[in-house]
Amino acid sequence: MTVIEPRYLKHVAAIAPTPVKPEKRLELSVICSCSLVVSMFWFAWTSGPDVHWVSPLLAMVLLGTAILGLFVTLQVFS
C-alpha cells in the first residue's frame, strides 16, 4: 500500500475537479493476480522429489503474498 497509495493520490490531484474511477484503486490486485498464477505454476513445476525443498517454499511465499494482496485490495477498496 505504500507504493500504490501515493500513486493514487497523485492521480487524484492531477484530475482534481472530476471524480476518480473506482478501478484506479485496484492496481495492486492486477499485480497480485498475475503473481498468483506464476507462483502456482512455479510450485507445481518444482514439487517433485528431485528438486530442492527451497524452491517450492519460495513459490509458496510468493503465493501467500499474492493471496494476501488480493484479499486486502478486494476487501478494503471494494
Q: How many domains does the chain have?
A: 1
- Sign, CA torsion 6/36/39/64: positive
Enclosing domain of residue 56: 4-76
pLDDT along the chain (78 residues), means of 10: 82 89 85 96 94 96 95 80
The set of residues, in sequence order, having a beta carbon less than 8 Å from that of 55 and lying 6+ positions away, is 42, 46
pLDDT at 20: 86
pLDDT at 77: 67
pTM of the model: 0.78
